[in-house]
Amino acid sequence: MSLPVVVTPTAERHLVTIDGWWRRHREAAANLFIEEFAASVNLIQSMPLAGRRYGAAPIDGVRRVLLRSSRFHVYYQVRTSEIVILAVWSALRGRDPDLRA
C-alpha cells in the first residue's frame, strides 16, 4: 500500500512559479519540469525512502530527490499516514529553502 502525497501551500507556490518560468523560457521542452516532478512523486509514493536524507533541515526526517534534467530538488517528509512535499527548490540557488513545518 502506498501513502498519499500531499503538497504544502508553499510547495504549490514553488511548483506554479517554476512551471510558469519553465514554459516561458524552455519552449523546446515546455513539459520537462512538470513531467520530472510527476515522476518524482510516483517514485517517492512507491518508495518513500528513495530520497536522500537532508540533514540541514530545521525539522526531522526531511528527504530530497533531484530532478536531474531541470536541476530542482523535491524536499519531502514521510509521516505516518502521508508523504508531505515541503518545497521544490533549485539545486543551483546557493541557499536552502525555508523548510519550517
The architecture CATH gives domain 5-90: 2-Layer Sandwich (3.30)
CA 59, chain centre distance (Å): 16
- 94 vs 89 pLDDT, higher one: 89
- Is residue 23 exposed (0-12), middle (13-18) or buried (19+ Cβ within 10 Å)? middle
Could you give the CA distance from residue 101 to residue 94 in angstroms, rounded to a whole number? Answer: 21
Chain segment 48-87, per-residue pLDDT in tens: 999 999 988 778 899 999 999 999 999 999 999 999 999 9
For the chain, give every domain's residue range: 5-90
User: Is the pLDDT reported for residue 29 higher than 90?
Assistant: no
Query: For residue 13, what pLDDT is reported?
Result: 95
* pTM (two decimals): 0.92
